[in-house]
Every structure is written in structure tokens, then in C-alpha cells.
Structure 1
């Protein structure tokens, strides 16, 4: 099964072309190598709730992504609004993913508790917030990537729940 995956980077500097988006590159590699995923959309938006929401809605509803992975905007800075934007567009939360990612990251750094990342479902699309650093992306995605195929199979109706 090949999964349709969209990547959304939220970064003021990245959206202005002032910063290379290395976190999205890590996501792309992991998705293609570990998840058998196909990137159907990728974009960078500034840390603005409305722009993040619009991108998530379009990725889920128009591009019909099975999985949307966001990177950035999950910390304590006043500009970090990715979790709020995500919660505004999901139908249901899927808190176990964010809990698992934080728990795994806490094994490496106490600063992991500063993450406000969330996970949720919009229609048949799973949305996961990841940190903005390549190392954080790698650690967090590694914590859940083995469960994603089963979760996506259930969500998309390709297999029943067990």
C-alpha cells in the first residue's frame, strides 16, 4: 500500500525564503523509505493560524492526503500556533500519537515537555504535528512510524479495527 502524504512546514522565516527547510527533507526521506509514502503536496506557510488552517484543509480535502505531517510551530513562542490551527480543522483528536512522541523525546531531553504538538483526524486524513528541528522530526516520527500503516488502514477503511 502506498500512502498519500502531505508535508506542511510552518515557519515565518522559511516562508520568506530566509531559512532552508531541512525538517521537511527529513520527513520526506522517512516517509518514502520507512512508510512507503508518496508526497502529494508540500508547502511552507508563515506562523499564521488562518494560513495553516487553509493549507491543512486543502491538503486533506482537495489532495486527499491519508497523512499530513506538519513541522514547526509547536513550542511556547507566541507565534507557535500550529496546534491551535490543527485543532480548528480536525473532527476528532488522536492524542496517543502526540503522547507517544513526547514520551519518546523525554527519554532524550527534558525540554520535550515544552512541545504542544497535537494529532487529529479530518475526514479520512490523519494530521500529526512534529517539531521544527530535523532531529526532533526524526525522533518524533520514529516513535510512531511503525503504527502509522495500521492506523491509516483503519482510518481509510482498508482494514477493520482489532
Structure 2
């Protein structure tokens, strides 16, 4: 396993929400540069999530097989409730994260990608080149994010209000957010 470590939250209890942070980058997996995308995701989560959680971080090379294998391992064996990927969502030949994600999910949730592209377009016209998507695999939600840290913050800020309720609906471990940072929506019982 390349680059696995646990960060965030407190302790290793199986009752804590488990959040996978999957960095998809040929160069970062070879140690040619320091990952910033995974760190941006962890920073966002540390600020946004109020309940305790554990992050499982992996840094892997681009490619359908490598990404699909990591997603299966993180969802099925590591029992992640949420996996946030960063990288591999552009139009370059090695950018295959959406294809790998679609190969392992059972249901696609296209609204995540649509919203991320819309909010990103308010910042840069090249956001139309982004191919983020999301979907579920069992009791795990998988969301593809862009690779740039500033874009990660914009995209997570847009979609995170729906994530706690989505996790509830698919039977994942619950997370609670800091309402001063994120106005997560859950319908009244």
C-alpha cells in the first residue's frame, strides 16, 4: 500500500466514521513532489466535521486499475464510509479517475459533479474540462474532486452540505458537522 497513514479524528474505534482520502497522481506516488490535494481535503474535513473520525490516506499512481483497486480496498476492506479522491479528473490521457470510479460504484450521483463544475466555473473558465463524479458502493459514498487545493475547497464547500444526509441514507456511519462552517441539510424526522 503506497502512502497509507491515519490522520484526523481521535483514536481507532470501529464506531468512528472512516473517511478515505485517495490522492491520484503519478508524480506524488513516486515522491517527486509533496502532495497538497490530500492535505487540502484533510484540512477541510478537520475544520468542517464536528464528530470524531479517522482518515485513511493513500497516494497512488493514475490509471483505471490502480484507482479502482484502491477504491475497492478502501470501501470493502478498510470499511470507509466516505472516500474523497483528488486528481485524475481532467482530459489528459492518464486522467482516468472518473472511469475507475464508475467501474466500482453501484449508483452514480451525477449531481455532485454538476454542482462542482458550476461553482468552479464561477472561478475559472477551464472548469468545463473537469470530469468529477460521485456514487455509492455499498455503504460508502465516493466523490471525485479536482487536484488543485483551492479548487478542492470550492468544490467541497459546495457539495459537503449534502454528504452527511447521503451517508445516513446509505447506512454509513454518521458524521456531524460544525454548523458555523457548513450548513448540512437533514430533513426533520
TM range (shorter): over 0.9
- What is the CA–CA distance in structure 2 between the aligned matches of 1:25 and 1:44, rounded to whole Å? 11
- Structure 1 unaligned blocks of 5 or more: none
2:44 maps to 1:44:
no
Higher mean displacement: 24-33 or 8-17 = 24-33
Structure 1 vs Structure 2 CA RMSD:
2.1
Q: 1:13 to 1:107 in 2, by over 3 A?
A: same
Please report how far the alpha carbon of residue 12 of structure 1 lies from its aligned counterpart in structure 2 after TM superposition: 0.4
- What is the CA–CA distance in structure 2 between the aligned matches of 1:65 and 1:33, rounded to whole Å? 20
Query: 1:51-110: CA deviations, max 9, x gaps?
Result: 111100010001111100000000010010000000000011011111111111111111
- What is the CA–CA distance in structure 1 between the aligned matches of 2:32 and 2:85, rounded to whole Å? 19
Structure in which a larger fraction of residues adopt helix? 1
Q: Which runs of 4+ in 1 moved over 4 A?
A: 157-162
When Rg is computed on C-alpha atoms for both structures, the one with the higher figure is: 2
Aligned length: 162
Q: Is the 8 A contact 1:31 1:38 kept in 2?
A: no
- Structure 2 unaligned blocks of 5 or more: 1-14, 175-186
- TM-score calculated relative to the size of structure 2: 0.80
- TM-score calculated relative to the size of structure 1: 0.93
